[in-house]
Structure formats: structure tokens, C-alpha cells
Chain A
Amino acid sequence: MSHLKTLVITAYYEWKIQIRQRSTWVVAGLFFLVAWMSIDYAKLPLDSAIRFALGTAQGMGLFGGLFIVIIGATGFLREFKPGYNFLWTHSFSTRVYILGKFLGICMTAATALLPVGLWVASLMVNLHGFQSVFLQIKVWSVVLAPTLVFILAVTFLVGLLFRRPLWTSLVLLLVIVATLVMNLDITHLIGFALYGIYGSSLIGYGPDNLLVTLNRFFYLELSVLSLLIVLLLARILTTRQENKSSPVWKLIWGTLTVVNLIAIFYTASNFQIESNRLSENPPSNPLEAEAMDCSFMRSYQIDLVLNQKTKSLDGEVVFLLQPNAISQQIPIRLNGGLNISKIESTPPGVKGEVVKNTLVLNFPAELKGRDVSITLKYAGSINIPRYAYDNLFRSQELSVAPFPPGGYVDDKTIFLVRDGNWHPFSWCALDQLSIGWIGVPNSGIVQTADRMVSYPDRVTLIWDQQPPLPLLATSQNYDTFQMTESRFFVSPDNISDREFEVVYNSYPVLLKQIDLFLQEEKRSSSQPYQIATVPLLKYSLYDPSTRIYLLPESRDVTHLLINENNEKSQTVINSPELLYRRWVATDVLRAWWCSSNPCLQLQAEVGYHPIQFGISGFEGKTVLDALISYASLQLAEPLVGQQFIAEEIAARQHAMEDPIFFTSLVQLPSLYSTETNSLVVQLHGLWEQADPETFWQLVREYHRQFGNTSLSEEDFARFVLKVTGFELP
């Protein structure tokens, strides 16, 4: 009991002494200033709450770390100076006193960071509403607290060895600065989550949750170990006489040390296991699925159950083939978290096994040439490898590749798109798909099934033919909004209310434009568009038949919406808002273009970040680029106006004549080659010669006949003449 009193009183007075010290607030103020200056206020309104909370937490980890070193070293070593000898003659335990100091300095840091926290919270409330403050508290607690506690524990350890606050601070500040120079963070959080902490409001912190959690526990355990060493050394290195520890205390200290060491070992091993699980290597060619053969398969059906409670998938794949040899090797791409448990055949007798990425089937001789149905039973959890996270720290090929698993299941959120390695032959057309969904009722489900059957324990969605790319998306975390004729399912705190309309209002207009000019199968106009944000997706997916549009949750549109140089310009083409609408038009048109047939290369090019443009691997699509680019410009007309169209055409002409123009801030034309720009200008000439309907007919015909194939310019000119009766100007 007396130890507890010592602990509390020491912590309290350490806190009181520190917060009354001017230097504490001077240092805290300095860090506040740096933090304040490091925020890009222009981009702030478009930053999601979780990204903002993560960014500020990581920033404060750095500034807070420096702050902790300074106040920790001075606070801890203060009473070791001879002037405080009188204090050590009072009756208290050195160990408890040191722990009290530790607690007091933690309280000081929390108090000093409080103004920064409140300031960040005020920004959050202003942008994302009061609820987002809880998100900030959660993120800061996870990201910031263990880092600062660890730095303080190390400061105590180094301080006890040096016994000089200045030396202690200098050594640790050097370590921190050196770590930063090496582009690492102090607690190696980025190292644990190599591609950055994925921040999604729909799926918490993202697929690397466990790694982050293990990292945080690891550093808390290291902090405890550091403190235990400090307490041990304090008895050895300080001259103050103390009674020898009683056997009970020795037992407590010993047990604590052993438990801590076991915990460190346990955390490290679990980290290794989890890290191995997530460190699945990316495919050498991320777009290889497009080129894979399906001719061996006569039909392909999937029947599976997604269980949100167990976050697992359980199902079977049935495919029909006609063996032409007694042994057949079939390429198979199944998610690392899923395992094939059984291979059966009808008629029986086929022996099958999976060797690496190949399904080896051995047929009895009598089955050669006959129809054989193969059933693969498989189950597990969809594993999201770390390379698949949506961020910028990857190779260009990976950054434009589709999201390989194609699905995600947790207890709150679930989504599935057709092409993903959640089924073994994602490049083959499905004849039937049945998905049973066992989960908790959500506020809304977005799905493209032909039929939906409800059972007491599940809902079954059935597609009777090749399903569209979007399959289903649902989340307890969705916020739903109605805008004109569209329902939006968006992640909470994804974007500020103020910017919500700016970011989303183009979609309904453009989808309606597509229905008006491009969609040949007209749907009832009463059917609303359903636009759902989906985590981890790389690019938009659209199913015109159900009017369901899946939108990537994480998208950095700030460079389009915020551009100070452009804002100063008088021309409308430099208006960030119009440029954004223009870009959305391309995004929507490409999603529609690829809705029936996957065209990954085309989709890939629609990347919204500048570094994803101009990838050398996707050359030779001048005609397709030009057609989609110009068609999307005309589709965007209600949103951008005639003047914008005229200025874009002028800019493209300018870009053709003056290559330096390429580096100018006029963004869209500069993304395309001279040939593409030239063809766009020609298409504009055609638009002016012919009537709009003739042009839209040309686009529809091209889409119907050639899909995502790009004709040569000569063939295209002939095609234009044939469809429209006009020569390309």
C-alpha cells in the first residue's frame, strides 16, 4: 500500500513540476509549431479522417519522441544531482520512486501533447464531425502511445548509464535523427507494415492489423523489459543503501521478468508467422491472367459460403472437361489462405493433386474423350498479401495490377469481385455462381446477382450466367446517402462532408450520360444507380445491367482538386474542379468499357495518381486511348461545359506543336502521346462534321466489335468511314 502511495505521489509531483516548468512548454510549443507548419491545409478537406489521424499520429511520434527524450532525461536524472541528497534520506523504495517518475513523465507528455491533440481534434471535428474524434483517439493510442512509452523507457535506461541529462538527450536525439535520415521510424512500425498502415474506415486499420498490433505489443513489452533493467541497475549503480529484497519481492520481480521475456518471444514468433503469411510474393507478371487459357474447360460453376462470423470461405468448384490424355496439368491460382481439401470426379476414378500452381489430374484410360466433372472442395480465409495493399510503395506493374485476392471478408465488411484468386480459375468464364452469405444484417448490400434467396441463417445470391465484375459489397460501417438518382454507400470519415458533393456528384451525371448515349440495352430509368466505395480495389468496376458501380475507397484526388498554380489561371481548363470532373468521366467510361470483358491494361491506365500514367508497358493503344479520351470529354459536357471542351482541344493541338507544353500544368492532354492528341483533335473534327448521335454510334460499334483491342490508325480511319460515312478530318 505504501508503495502504491509512493508511486502515485511521485507521479503526481513529477507531473506538477514538469508542467510548471517553462522549458516543458517551450519545447512542446516548438514541436507544436513544427506540426502546425507540416500540415498541408490546402489538401486537408480531401483527406480521409483515418489518413489524417494516421498522418498526425506518425508526425507526433517523431516530434513527441524528441520531446520525450528531453523531458525524460532531465526529469529522470534531476534527483541524482547532489543537491537532491536530502530527498533520498526519506523513506521510500528507489524502484517504486523510479516507476513513479516514469508514470509522471508519461502524464507530462500526455498533457503537453494535449493542446496538439485538441487542435488536431478541432480540425477533425470541423472536417469529419464529432464522431471522428474517437477515431483520432483510437489511432493515436495505437500509433503514438507505445512509441512514446518505448522511447521514454530507453531514455531511462540510457540516462541511468550516463547520469547526465545532456549526454543522454544528445545520444538519443542522434539515434532518432539517424533513424530518420535512414528513412526508418523509431519503432519500425513501417518496417512491420512495409507498405504503410492501410487506413480504411470500412475495415479498421486494414489487413495488416495483426502486424501492427504485434508491433505495438512488442514495443510495450520491450519498454517493460527496459524498465526492469533500469530497476535492476538502479540497485547496482546507485549508492543509496536499501534493504535486501524480500523473497516475495524477488519472486515477483523474477516472475515479471520471465513473463515479460516469454511475452516478447511469443509476440516475435507470432509476428514471424503472420509476416510469413502475408509475405506472399507477387506474381512475376501481374496481368498474366488475361493471357491464360480456358479451352480445357467446358463449364465452370462455383458454390460457396462466406461466413462473416468466422471470416472464412467454404465452397466447391465444379468444372467439366473432356480429357484428351490420361494425365492433364491445369494451371491454378488460388489464394494463399485457401486450401483445397478434396478432389472428386464424376464418374469417379480420377486422381488429382495440386503441385505448386498446377492441378495434376490423372484419368483412367476409359475416361479419355468422355465428359468428366471435377469437383474441388476448398476452404479457408482470404489472405491479403502485403504487396496488394493500395499504396505508392510498389513497382509500377504492381501498382496498376488488379487487387489479386478480389475479395475481403471480416466480421463487419465483405466484398467480392468476379476476378480474384478466391476461386481457382479466375480467368475463366463462370456458368453459374452461388454465394451463401452468413453474416449480420447490414445497413445495405450492393449486389449484382440474378436471384437472391433468403434462408433463416443465410442469404444466397445466385448468378445464372457469367457474372459481371462487381459481385457484392456490404459493410456495417457504410454510411448511405442519396444523391439525385443514386445511392451512395461510402466509408465513414472517408471524405469531409464539405467535399462530399464535389467528389461524388459527377458520378450519377456521367452514368446517366452513358445510359443515354452508349448503353444499348436500355434499363428502366427508375432503377437507381448504386455506388459503393470498396477498400483495397485498384480501379472502378461497373455493371450496367444492375447499375452498380464499385469505387475504390482509397483515392488521392487532391492533386486534381487542389492546384494553386491552376487556380490562378483565367482559363477554365485549369480549374481543378472541372479537371476532376473531366477525370471522373474517363474513369466512368473506362469502367463501362471494361464492364463485360476485363481489360486490365486499359483499366490500369486510368490510375488517378500522376506516377501511374505513362507506363511504358501499355503502348500501342493510340486509337483506343484517343477514342475513350474524346468520348469521355463529350460525356463530361454537362459537367465541364463547352468552353472546357474547346480549351482541351486547343491544349492538345498546342501539345502536339510544342513538346515543352508537356511539362505545363495543363494536366489531361499532357498525359497522352502526340499521336493520341492528334487523333483526339481529328475526332473533334468528326464531331463537328457529323451529328452527335453518329459519333456515339461510332463509339458503341467500336466497343461492340473490338472491345479493348486498339485498331491501327489506318484501320480505324476505314472503320470510321464505314460507320459514319465521314472521313477522319
Chain B
Amino acid sequence: MSIIVEKVSKKYQGAQSYALQDVSITCSMGVFGLLGPNGAGKTTLMRILTALISPTSGRAIIQGYNVVDEPDKVRPLIGYIPQEYTLYPQLTVWEFLDYMAKLSGLKNSHQRMEQILLQVGLSSDARRRLRNLSGGMKQRVVIAQALLHDPPVLLVDEPTAGLDPAERVRFRNLLSELGRERTVLLSTHIVEDITATCRQVTVLFEGQIAFTGDIDSLISSARGKVWKAHLSPSEWEYVRDANLIVSSCPDSKPGFMDVKFLSTDSQSLFESELVSPTIEDAYLLLISRRKSDRESS
């Protein structure tokens, strides 16, 4: 296994609660999704895996090396694409990659840089200053720096936030491509990113694992609980108050709505039909259950 996380907990100094609690996951070759709402602990886990912070308890192992005990051996094995980044606006793409390559101790770095620039589609922009690049291009530069030393493990944190749809699709395809020969741990709160790239997913909620398994299992957990209905105004008010609405669209008839919602009960009060769940439906259902469990406890 490329990544093994065993009962990892993290409590920041001065914090009331754990940012991560008893989290255990294993990832092998391919793209592995890490899904969760904001504040679920995804970035904390990423920072532990990149040896930027240490866990309060538990252990994280990458390619057989304990991140806490042997961080210097772990670093050459990982590439990190962070959620937020600042690049050196004064440097050109080429200079920036040269700097990162040399910091990583890479030999024959120029040949490798040319390969990577080709891979991320920035060959023609190598001499441009970073300040002059678009958001998508900067994102590709960050990917390039993570791939320079050809790491077997890629840790990707919220990568598509802020990208336009075309860049987002391009990025997903690149991730899939990269996942063919390495382990990619993709942390995101955007469900579509997971759908498009992963087979395995772990859902984090408030620092704990809410689900881990393949995507089909996650989807199956919502089977028989996703409904579609054409609702009158009074029915809409009832459904809205009692259920989690996944989508709603006003009908041409005034006051009527086409609605998709989640419900564990069979619907007899108004005309509705069961539909096949998507991963987004399953994710929302999972999170809403967790929230109600927490409120009831």
C-alpha cells in the first residue's frame, strides 16, 4: 500500500476539539478520493501526510516510511498540490521549476523540467513571468513542481476551487492520467471531482470517517431514498420542511416545482417516483445523517 493512515488524531494547540480523530485509511495505485465539507479535517490530514505537521497520535506511512520518524525519506516520495498557494511573481515558470528542482536535489533537472512542462501544457510559456499567468496556468505550474521529482505519491488538496469549467475538466483528466502509474490522494469538497476521477473514496465529517469504500457502495447506500416529484405550492412547503432537497426547479405553472429530494420514507401523500441516486445524493444523505446523529446525541 502506498499510503497507510492508522488511527491518526490531531488536536491543535488551544483547540477544544479534534481536527482529526482516529482516522484510518489505506490507498494503493490510482486516484483515491477524500471527500468532506469544509472543516472536515481533509487539509489537516494532507498536512500530516506531507510532514508539515505531526499527528497527536496514530501513524502515517508512505511507501513504508513513517512520516513522523523519517520525514526526509518521505519527501522525495511525495508531490504536493496545495489548496492555496502563492507563487513567486518575479520568477519565470522555468526559473521557478529550476528552483524547486534544485531544492529537491534533482539531477539533470532541465531535461525533466522540459518533460513536465510538456505534460502540463506549459512548454510555450516557460519564459513567462508567473505574475502574468492565468489562474489555470498557475495551477499547472503548481502541478509541475509537484511532479518534478516523479514522486510515486501525489497529494492533491482542493485543486479545482476557483478554476473555470474548462480548466477543471482539463485538470481532472490530468489527474486521471497521473493516477495510472502512481497513488493520488485527492482531497476535495466538490463531489463532481470525485465522480470524474476516483473509484475509492473516504468521506470525512468533523474529523472522523463517515464512509470509506468504493464509490458504488456509497451510491448504493442512497438507493431507494432519492425521490423526484412535481409539487403544488402546499406540497412544496411540506416537502421542503421535512426533507433534504437535492435540487428544485420552478415549473412553468405558477407556484409549482420540479423537485429532487432525499427521504427514507415511502411517499404516499403526493405523486412521486424513486430515482437512481448519484454520488452527490449519497454524499448529502451521509452528511445529513451524521448531522442529525450529532444533534440527537
Contact = CB atoms under 8 A, between A and B. Distances in A.
Partners in one complex: yes
A609 interface: no
Contact of B52 (A81, A83, A89, A243): A89
* Main SS class of interface, A: helix
A86 B82 contact: yes
Q: How large is the interface on B (under 10, 10 to 19, 20 to 34, 35 or more residues)?
A: 35 or more
Interface stretch (A5-13, A220-228, A338-346, A685-693): A5-13
A451 B85 CA distance: 84
A91 interface: yes
A239 interface: yes
A90 interface: yes
Contacts of B53: 239, 241
A152 B225 CA distance: 65
A594 B12 CA distance: 84
B86 interface: yes
Nearest to B100: A90
Given A89-B51, A239-B52, A239-B53, A83 B85 contact: yes
A90 B71 CA distance: 11
Given A85-B82, A92-B103, A242 B142 contact: no
Interface in A77-112: 81-92, 97
A5 to B, nearest CB: 6
B133 to A, nearest CB: 15
Interface string B58-96: 000000000110111101101111101110101100010
A21 interface: yes
B84 A2 contact: no
Contacts of A241: 51-54, 67-68, 71
B100 A91 contact: no
A91 B105 contact: yes
A568 interface: no
Given A241-B52, A243-B70, A243-B72, A17 B90 contact: yes
Contacts of B85: 83-86
B200 interface: no
B119 to A, nearest CB: 18
A89 B100 CA distance: 10
Given A2-B105, A9-B99, A86-B145, A239 B90 contact: no
Q: Name, among A89, A91, A239, A243, the residue most crowded by chain B CB atoms within 10 Å (CB to CB).
A: A89
Contact of B75 (A17, A82, A90, A239): A90
A357 to B, nearest CB: 68
Interface string A452-478: 000000000000000000000000000
Contacts of B71: 240-243
B247 interface: no
Interface string A1-44: 01001100110010011001100000000000000000000000
Nearest to B75: A91
Contacts of B88: 13, 17
Interface in B196-237: none
Contacts of A20: 90-91
B282 interface: no
A2 B84 CA distance: 29
Nearest to B88: A17
A16 B91 contact: yes
B47 interface: yes
Contacts of A5: 102, 105
Given A90-B75, A243-B72, A85 B103 contact: no
Given A241-B52, A241-B54, A91 B90 contact: no
Interface in A203-242: 239-242
A89 B91 CA distance: 20
A84 B89 CA distance: 13
A11 to B, nearest CB: 11
Contact of A240 (B52, B84, B104, B149): B52
12 contacts: A6-B103, A6-B105, A13-B91, A17-B91, A20-B91, A85-B50, A86-B145, A88-B50, A90-B149, A91-B105, A92-B103, A239-B53
- Across the A-B interface, give the 5 residue pairs with the lowest CB-CB distance, nearest first: A83-B86, A20-B90, A241-B71, A241-B51, A89-B80
Given A6-B102, A89-B80, 16 more contacts: A5-B102, A81-B86, A83-B84, A83-B85, A85-B80, A86-B85, A88-B52, A90-B103, A91-B75, A91-B103, A91-B149, A92-B105, A239-B54, A240-B52, A241-B53, A243-B70
